Every structure is written in structure tokens, then in C-alpha cells.
Amino acid sequence: MIQEVAQIEYNTERPKLIIPEYGRHIQKMVDHAIATEDKDERNKLAKGIIAVMGNLNPHLRDVPDFQPMLWDQLFIISDFKLDVDSPYPIPSREELMERPEPLEYPQNHPKYRFYGNNIKRMIDVASGWEEGDKKEGLVLTIANHMKKCFLNWNKDTVEDDVIFDHLFELSNGKINLKNSDEDLSDASNLLKNKKRFNTSNSSKKNYKSTSRNRKRH
């Protein structure tokens, strides 16, 4: 009895699993393959291990890179010590340790992020339109929306000239309202519309919540 207790393995005493999702049985199979001297036998063992790993991930079988992924994971579990013939390029430790390049933020004017990319697209569209009432109406709509975005970001007042300067810069000088007599919507009206919208949404949520509670009773 004492001898049996002495042979019990505790997880705290076992080597750390490289990919815990596959469990210790797969890890032991890989370790056995590494220790096998005959390469033909190692190749057979590797294919058997791949088959078992595939059965553990049936939901991924239709993924195009499923098999290459399994082989990559096999070499990772072996700590890149397994010498077998792989049907796919064998990854290196250095490749897996490389950090991916950071994604660029899709914004040409990072200091005006509070306007959002949709505003920039609208400005680009308006810049390509012919001069006329239709373009003037779109430009004023864009400018008012820019003012609203600015107020949502800054929650203070903003002069129309500031919006006109930003519009001029974002349009690469193609839209110029700097000398315009047009006035944008008053800040209080723009913020009032936002409050009205939020109040409406809040009322709807409260109504739905009340309705649910009534049904429960």
C-alpha cells in the first residue's frame, strides 16, 4: 500500500504541459516518439499522434489549415525536438516567437479621430461633387455633424471657425467655408437632440423592463 502511494504522480510534480488543451496523454505520446531511435517508427508514431489530435478537435476539421495547424502543434508540444518527416514546412522556435507588426490605424488625421472615419469618407465624396445647391447642402450637413462630434468629444462650446478649419484640412483644401456667411446649428440644439435621443432610448428600456416584470407577476 505504501509503495502504491509512493508511485502516485501529482500534477504539481509533473513537467508543465506545453499545450494543456491536449492533456498529459498526448504529451507522453510525443515524448515517447522523441525517445524512439528508429526514424521510420517515429514517423508512424507522429502520424498516429496527429490522428488522435484531430479526433480531439472534430469541430475544426473543415478549416482549410487544419492539418498544417496540427503538425505545427505537434512540433510545439515536442519543444521542437521531434525529428520526423512532415508533409508541411516545419516551424521554427524563432518564427513563433516573432511579434506581428502592429496594425496601422486607418485614419489619415489621427488628431481628429473624434470625427470618425465615416466623416472623412463623406468629405471625400462631397469634394468630388460639382458646385451647386446639392453640394452646399451636403457640406453644411457634414459641418454640423462634425460640430456635434466635436461637442460629444469635448462637451464644451466650439466656434464655427474651428469646424471650418478642420473641414478645410480634412478635405485637403477642397472645401472652404472660412469666408462663408453660413452659421452652423447652435451647440445647445445639437446637444439637446442628443439628450432627447438618449431619453427616448431610456424610456423604451424602462418600458420593456416594466413589461417583463408585469408578465412575471
User: Domain residues for 85?
Assistant: 7-97
Same domain, 131 and 66: no
Percent of the chain with pLDDT over 70: 76
pLDDT given for residue 150 in this prediction:
87
Say whether both 176 and 162 belong to one domain: yes
User: Which cell goes with 28?
Assistant: 507522453
Residues 33, 107: one domain?
A: no
Shared-domain flag, residues 129 and 70 = no
In total, how many domains does the chain have? 2
Give how far Cα 171 sits from Cα of 115, 123, 168, 174, 211, Å: 13, 6, 5, 5, 49
Last residue of a domain, one of 72, 97, 122: 97
What is the arithmetic mean of pLDDT over 66-74? Answer: 94
Average pLDDT on 166-170 reads 92
Domain contains 204: no
**Confidence (pTM):** 0.45
Which of the two residues, 106 and 21, has the higher pLDDT score? 21
**What Å distances lie between residue 12 and 4, 9, 115, 163, CA to CA?**
18, 9, 54, 63
Predicted confidence at residue 22, as pLDDT, reads 92
Helix (H) or strand (E) holding 145: helix 133-154
Q: Are residues 93 and 108 in the same domain?
A: no
Q: Does residue 43 or residue 97 have the better pLDDT?
A: 43
Residue 161 lies in a domain: yes
Residues 48 and 105 in one domain: no
The answer to whether residue 1 is domain-embedded is no
Pair 160, 168: CB distance under 8 Å: no
**pLDDT higher than threshold 90 for residue 77:** yes
85 and 16 within one domain:
yes
pLDDT at 103: 63
Q: Is residue 211 part of a domain?
A: no
Are 116 and 68 contained in the same domain? no
pLDDT at 203: 47
- Asked whether residue 201 is assigned to any structural domain, the reply reads no
Do 142 and 184 belong together in one domain? Answer: yes
Q: What is the DSSP string of 24-70?
A: HHHHHHHHHHHH---HHHHHHHHHHHHHHHHHT-GGGTTSTTHHHHH
Q: Estimate the crossing angle of helix 39-55 against helix 23-35, to 10 degrees.
A: 170
* Phi–psi pair at 33, nearest 5 degrees: -65, -40
CA distances to 17, 22, 77, 148 from 80, in Å: 14, 17, 7, 57
Instruction: Let me know whether 53 and 109 are in one domain.
Output: no
85 and 151 both lie in a single domain? no
